[in-house]
Amino acid sequence: MVGQNKRDAEMANRYALRMDHSDSWTVFDVFTGQPAESDNRVMVGINAGDADKMVGRLNDQDAKRREEAGR
């Protein structure tokens, strides 16, 4: 398990949150700076709870994709 935790710590998260207005968040790609898209929807103007869940989901999907690609 220690190896897995080290690998997780070394893998940068691709997605993060940016506050637009009070309780209005954008999920964005930290590598491009652009808002993320999911299910043909741009992740802008989302409430904090939904935005946090989306960041977790997108980062989990990205980590799995990179692991499968050997990156």
Query: Rounded distance, CA 50 to CA 19, Å?
Result: 13
Contact 69, 61 (CB under 8 A): no
Q: Can you give the pLDDT at residue 4?
A: 46
pLDDT > 90: what percent of the chain?
Answer: 70
Per-residue model confidence (pLDDT) at position 70: 83
Average pLDDT value for residue range 48-57: 96
30 φ, ψ to 5°?
-70, -20
36: its two tokens: 């993320």
| Phi-psi map region of 50: left, alpha, beta (phi>0 left; psi -120 to 50 alpha) | alpha
What tens digit of pLDDT does each residue of 17-43 get? Answer: 999 988 899 999 999 999 999 999 999
Domain residues of the chain, as ranges?
2-68
Predicted TM-score of the model (pTM): 0.79
Q: Is 28 helix (H, G, I), strand (E, B) or coil?
A: strand
